[in-house]
Structure 1
């Protein structure tokens, strides 16, 4: 069975004039990005939804920050997306890391996961500023 879900952000497809759709792997990737980039309190109907990474951008960049980000991502995915993905790894690279190529004060978060329905591995990388 080929599964299609609504694309994020919600929009009308120009060709079909219907709500745009995304295939299952792309839809789950969009859900992970949405979770990572949403701060708790942003959504009216789901005030606890989100990861809260943007508020950590201004924290002193250290090993403790990396561990905190990793833990917040793991907990958020376990709470909100456990029926969609099986978390494999969370990698956090801080801008203060020499040779990272990231602006100081920013962080790069890579989430590696396996899709629950198809067992195929995938990953999402977001830069948080």
Structure 2
């Protein structure tokens, strides 16, 4: 059984569950948008990409962010997936990340896109 992320209840009032593919996507999202230090018991967990939203756009920053994401996913989820490609776009206060990966259990290749906007941004 995989717990749904974010944690919620289903229509029966039980803890919501997620399929294996959805759970893997949820895990990727957690690694991407958790800042190091945010989790008390795992202070190194996460990529900290939300800090990049307000950084000046440049090829170098995009490349560094892609490496940061790939290494974070490999470190925390390497036993569940293989990352093939990461692309990052920052537009004003919105960060869009696309990850192409292969689930090691299913063997299927998938591409997921994650988007976050910074609240309170102009």
TM-score w.r.t. the length of structure 1 is 0.84
Give the match for residue 58 of structure 1: 54
> Is 1:110 the equivalent of 2:107?
no
Structure showing greater radius of gyration is 1
Secondary structure class of the residue paired with 1:39: coil
Does the alignment pair 1:122 with 2:110?
Answer: yes
8 A contact 2:50–2:95 mirrored in 1? no
The answer to whether the Cα contact below 8 Å between 1:106 and 1:128 also exists between their aligned partners in 2 is yes
Counterpart of 1:61 in 2: which secondary structure? coil
Q: Distance in 2 between matches of 1:29 and 1:127?
A: 13
Matched with 1:14 is 11
Q: Which aligned pairs between 1:27-106 and structure 2 lie closer than 5 A?
A: 27-95=23-91, 104-106=92-94
Q: Gapped runs of 5+ residues in structure 1?
A: 96-103
Give RMSD over aligned pairs. 1.3
CA offsets 1:35-60 (integer angstroms, 9 cap, x no match): 11111111111111011001111211
**C-alpha distance in structure 1 between counterparts of 2:95 and 2:64, whole Å:** 12
Counting matched residue pairs gives 117
- Specify whether residues 20 and 105 from structure 1 end up closer, same or farther in structure 2 by C-alpha distance, changes over 3 A only: closer
Give, in angstroms, the shift of residue 107 of structure 1: 2.8
Pairwise CA distance, 1:105? 4.3
Q: TM-score, normalised by structure 2?
A: 0.88
Q: Please list the CA deviations of residues 27-83 of structure 1 after superposition, one character each: whole Å capped at 9, or x if unmatched.
A: 000000111111111111111101100111121110011011101101101100001
